[in-house]
Amino acid sequence: MINKYVPVITIDGPSASGKGTICKIVSKILGWNILSSGLIYRSFAFFLKKNKIETCVYQNYDLLIKYLNIFIYRGLFFYFLKDSNILNQIYTSEIGNIASRLSVHYLVRKLLLPYHYFFKIPPGLVADGRDMGTVVFPDANIKIFIDSNINIRVKRRMLQLQKNNIYVSFSRLKYVMKDRDNRDCNRFHAPLFCSSDMFAIDSTLLSVEQVIDNVMQYVYKKLY
Ligand code: DC
């Protein structure tokens, strides 16, 4: 299933670091495929919420894996991907938080891992997430880590939410985002961190164009 000769660029970082936007633009410039790996965890979270499965199940490992197997055997990930109505509902902070809580479990990560490789098809892949360069594509040609100051990330997320007519206070959002960052960075399996082979970018004081300039210079230097 894994095509070894397809080049991969990984972009890891915390929520609202801008990695999703950068991933989209880089994949467009290169004409490569894109994987926003959070979507895989979010789809499973959406499935649980849609089926009104109580949040206490997230701690009941056996039951959680039973539901994950149902999700997988029904091919729901690919079904969700095709439905733009569902995609809109998947990109909410509630689903993001559920996804973060589910993704701490080893078997959840292991059973969802093969889905990442469906996206690794010619001419190349740009993948963003938390463990793209460390666990999923450890042999990636280029590994990038994007981070920025928490206050800037909260402001960015607030603006995104406001565009969808969702209004939350700065302090509440900061609390929720810090909680998610802590969980994603401190979990035992596949935590988010900047490994020594990653090109680290602090986007706090940079515009999207400046980040893209940095990334593309690095990409062209490494690839060609
Ligand atoms: O990138 P995102 O906000 O769509 O991700 C939602 C959650 O999914 C994130 O908080 C943790 C989990 N996730 C993960 O554990 N590993 C990834 N590679 C991507 C996302």
Residues 31-89 pLDDT 10s = 999 999 999 999 999 999 998 887 777 778 889 999 999 999 998 888 888 888 888 88
Taking the centre of ligand 1 as the mean of its atom positions, its distance from the CA of residue 214, in whole angstroms, is 24
Q: What is the best residue among 184, 185, 192 to mutate for testing ligand 1's pocket, by most ligand atoms within 8 Å of CB?
A: 184
The pLDDT confidence band at residue 125, using thresholds 50, 70 and 90, is: very high
Residue 144, domain member (yes or no): yes
Residue 222, domain member (yes or no): no
> Of all protein residues, whose CA lies closest to atom 10 belonging to ligand 1?
100
46 Cβ inside 6 Å of ligand 1: no
Taking the centre of ligand 1 as the mean of its atom positions, its distance from the CA of residue 203, in whole angstroms, is 19
15 Cβ inside 6 Å of ligand 1: yes
Domain membership of residue 119 as a residue range: 8-216
38 Cβ inside 6 Å of ligand 1: yes
* Number of compact structural domains in the chain: 1
Residue 1, domain member (yes or no): no
Residue 115, domain member (yes or no): yes
Taking the centre of ligand 1 as the mean of its atom positions, its distance from the CA of residue 64, in whole angstroms, is 18
Say which CATH number the domain at 181 has: 3.40.50.300
Q: Identify which of 37, 39, 25 has the alpha carbon closest to the alpha carbon of residue 219.
A: 25
Of all residues in the chain, the percent with pLDDT exceeding 90 is 78
Residue 223, domain member (yes or no): no
14 Cβ inside 6 Å of ligand 1: no
Quote the pTM value.
Answer: 0.94
Residue 142, domain member (yes or no): yes
96 Cβ inside 6 Å of ligand 1: yes
> Of all protein residues, whose CA lies closest to atom 7 belonging to ligand 1?
100
